[in-house]
Structure 1
Amino acid sequence: MSSSTTPSNDAQFPSADPMEILFTRQQIADRVQALGDQISREYAGQSVLLIGVLKGAAIFLSDLARAIKVDNSFDFVAVSSYGRARVSSGAVKLIKDIDNPIEGKHVILVEDILDTGLTLSYLRGLMLQHKPASLKIATCLDKAERRLVPIEADYVAFQIPNRFVIGYGMDYAEHYRNLPDIRLFPEELAGH
């Protein structure tokens, strides 16, 4: 069995092998390195705190942290806006807050997908209350046509169409996060 397969006897979670690859492992690695280089230049001589939004951004954050050459550390927040659905409910709930103070620090919020903007708008407001020295946003994927609130990321790996994606930390009902590439999940399997 190849490392890109997701075995499943359940028809709801079929193998990802036939699903169309949107971005390969190498394309992702190249873009993450480019973002790391950009952040390293912009924060030369300074420290950066990456705050990842669990669970989807965990893999992107780890790769990005390794690509950034300036001193960096990370923390995580967890929010809920999807539950087990594939479309955001619109209501954002904080499940896990940051562990350490961020006052006076250069913070980059790291997200897997920026789509409606509701989650990142909520988190940005929450983080600004803690008075960081600066606050920027990095996202692996930007799905701009889904935006409901005016928010943009400072660092974007890829722009994507309004399609449901899996892999590289992104899931469908907690499955497929381990795929090394980003694939289009078939609309007919996504249900509602």
Structure 2
Amino acid sequence: MDPASPAARASLGRVLVSADRIAARMPELARDIVSWMGEGEDDLVLVPVMTGAFIFAADLVRHMPVRMRITLATLSSYPGTATTSQGVRAVGDMPGDLSGRRVLVVDDILDSGRTLRWIRERFGADRPAKLATAVLLRKTVPAALSTPCEFVGFDIPDEFVVGFGLDYDGCFRNLPDVRVLHPEGPPR
């Protein structure tokens, strides 16, 4: 890491969701999702929102004994060192035709609700047979709580967090747990 980068100045705070709690929650979420799918011959189309959801999605699918196709959606709403959403935009891969399919969108965090609302509008236009969303984390703020999301790993307070796929300026995604981040260094 470049010592002059914003991430080098940042300070990791307390663990908000431990790796053990995350590991225990994965099979529960997977069971709920498989139940939501219902009977049918169609594969599930699982759409992880890149890059933040890749670790969550990888751990989740290991507990889902169903046929699925995985296709990525590369979106951005927090460029660089931004700690508030800058609006959603597609910056790479997007799924093809989803009409008549059972679709599960997997994202790392629900905070402003912009990403999931954008996805529901965009993917809903394809008229999938079923469309649901799963997030590892949902902030307990009005915007997040009022955004439809069928599967939630953990509700958390309104703090900037990193780890388990969530980053700050491209760093900290590899942490095994979810931690509070202080972008300007340790609190005084």
TM over 0.5: yes
Residue 22 of structure 1 corresponds to which residue in structure 2? 16
Q: Structure 2 vs 1, CA of residues 74 and 26 (structure 1 numbering), >3 Å: closer, same or farther? A: same
Within a 5 Å distance, the mapping from 1:127-142 to structure 2 comes to 127-142=123-138
Shift, 1:33, TM fit: 1.4
| Distance (Å, rounded) in 1 between the aligned partners of 2:134 and 2:22 | 14
| Distance (Å, rounded) in 1 between the aligned partners of 2:145 and 2:93 | 23
Within a 5 Å distance, the mapping from 1:43-82 to structure 2 comes to 43-46=37-40, 47-82=43-78
| Distance (Å, rounded) in 2 between the aligned partners of 1:36 and 1:158 | 14
Describe the SS at the equivalent of 1:183. Answer: strand
Runs of 4+ residues over 6 Å off in structure 1: none
**Which of residues 103, 114, 139 is equivalent to 1:118?**
114
| Distance (Å, rounded) in 2 between the aligned partners of 1:188 and 1:10 | 13
TM-score by length of 1: 0.85
| Distance (Å, rounded) in 2 between the aligned partners of 1:184 and 1:63 | 21
**Which of residues 149, 152, 158 is equivalent to 2:148?**
152
**Which of residues 87, 103, 106 is equivalent to 2:84?**
87
CA shift digits 1:65-99 (9 cap, x unpaired) = 1111222221111122221111112x221112424
Residue 39 of structure 1 corresponds to which residue in structure 2? 33
CA contact (8 A) 2:103 2:128 kept: yes
Uncovered stretches (5+) of structure 1, i.e. residues with no partner = 1-6
CA contact (8 A) 2:9 2:184 kept: no
The alignment of Structure 1 onto Structure 2 pairs a total of residues equal to 183
Shift, 1:16, TM fit: 8.8
Identical amino acids, percent of aligned pairs: 32
Q: Structure 2 vs 1, CA of residues 48 and 172 (structure 1 numbering), >3 Å: closer, same or farther? A: same
**Which of residues 3, 7, 13 is equivalent to 1:13?**
7
Cα RMSD, aligned residues only: 2.4
CA contact (8 A) 2:10 2:184 kept: no
CA shift digits 1:132-167 (9 cap, x unpaired) = 101001000001315179412100000000000000
| Distance (Å, rounded) in 2 between the aligned partners of 1:146 and 1:179 | 28
Describe the SS at the equivalent of 2:71. Answer: strand
CA shift digits 1:39-79 (9 cap, x unpaired) = 12232444311111111011111111111122222111112
TM-score by length of 2: 0.87
Describe the SS at the equivalent of 1:96. Answer: coil
Uncovered stretches (5+) of structure 2, i.e. residues with no partner = none
Q: Structure 2 vs 1, CA of residues 101 and 181 (structure 1 numbering), >3 Å: closer, same or farther? A: same
